[in-house]
Amino acid sequence: MTALMEQGEICRPIGFVPTMGYLHQGHLSLVHRARQECRTVVVSIFVNPTQFGVNEDFDSYPRDLSRDLEMLEPMGVDIVFCPPVREMYPDGYQTFVDVEQLAQILCGARRPGHFRGVTTVVLKLVNIVKADLMYMGEKDFQQCVVLETMLRELNQACRIIRCPIVREADGLAMSSRNVYLSPEDRQKASCLHQAIQLAQRLCRDGKDKADEVIPVLTELILSRGGQIDYIAIVDHVSLQPVDVVDTRSRLLLAVRFGKTRLIDNGAIA
Ligand code: AMP
């Protein structure tokens, strides 16, 4: 801890990377950016039970702390914070944070209570870590918008630094949940990125109406065996559907392959 103190002061800015562990290059890209920009870097590894629904994968979520610590070893992280569940949520815990509208749509509509768990744990972590900057991936686009809203509306000084999506060679966005995919589903799942690229091509060719683009993407994903949770083209701030695609629009996808639910997104204009 003394290495982090300078004349009794913690070296700021403190850059914070919250994760649920089972790290991959997407997570490490956030740590790398934080290391470049901050004097102190804190990474948390915490599989947060309150953001999982009752029938979701909290128990089976992939965990491997020693592998995670090995991956972080060369990254120059100052603190890895891995709190036990009972420390974050002692018996009788009863305080939650809700971002009302933004948390009810898209992933929030399919995963009731999910964002309430996310906002609650992230506010607790930001307060514990005393983070100045929080590094988050645009892979979880709605999460970025919800958390920025929460930090702003609750007068938190911490700011989110959004980082680009890191992808596998075939375009699949890296995710800890990709390990659930069977080899066949893993191959099929590359259609999410193909759908984003197809939407970009359609828009370049002047097909910029959401109700022209979405059916074409639907057909592509269904033909590859994906079960669509939603395909939406939304305003990047309000997350409300748009009729015509422009530079403020974002394509958001949530698709199941087998039992695995994947999300992806991209700008398409
Ligand atoms: P998670 O461990 O899934 O909760 O993710 C922790 C952080 O890593 C979140 O800010 C995610 O958006 C970010 N992240 C996850 N996957 C990627 C990726 N493929 N590219 C960039 N950031 C990612």
The whole-angstrom separation of Cα 142 and Cα 144 is 5
pLDDT digits (tens, 9 = 90+) for 53-93: 999 999 999 999 999 999 999 999 999 999 999 999 999 99
Q: What is the CA radius of gyration of the chain?
A: 19
CB of 265 closer than 8 Å to CB of 253: yes
Read off the pLDDT band of 1 (50, 70, 90).
very low
Of all protein residues, the one whose alpha carbon is nearest to atom 8 of ligand 1 is: 27
User: To test the ligand 1 pocket, which listed residue (139, 166, 262) has its Cβ within 8 A of the most ligand atoms?
Assistant: 139
Q: What is the pTM of this model?
A: 0.97
Atom in ligand 1 nearest the alpha carbon of residue 176:
3
For the chain, domain boundaries: 12-163, 176-266
pLDDT of residue 9: 66
User: Which of 85, 98, 143 shows the shortest CA–CA distance to 135?
Assistant: 143
Mean pLDDT, residues 41-45: 98
209 CA distance to ligand 1 middle (Å): 30
Of all protein residues, the one whose alpha carbon is nearest to atom 5 of ligand 1 is: 19
Residue 5: is its pLDDT beyond 90? no
Of all protein residues, the one whose alpha carbon is nearest to atom 17 of ligand 1 is: 26
139 CA distance to ligand 1 middle (Å): 6
210 CA distance to ligand 1 middle (Å): 27
* Catalytic option among 27, 114, 193, 236: 27
6 CA distance to ligand 1 middle (Å): 31
> Which is it for the CA torsion 135, 79, 176, 146, positive or negative?
negative
Q: Is 114 a catalytic residue?
A: no
CATH number of 176-266: 3.30.1300.10
Read off the pLDDT band of 10 (50, 70, 90).
confident
pLDDT digits (tens, 9 = 90+) for 208-254: 999 999 999 999 999 999 999 999 999 999 999 999 999 999 999 99
Atom in ligand 1 nearest the alpha carbon of residue 143:
12
The whole-angstrom separation of Cα 160 and Cα 142 is 13
pLDDT digits (tens, 9 = 90+) for 153-169: 999 999 999 999 999 99
Architecture of the domain made up of 12-163: 3-Layer(aba) Sandwich (3.40)
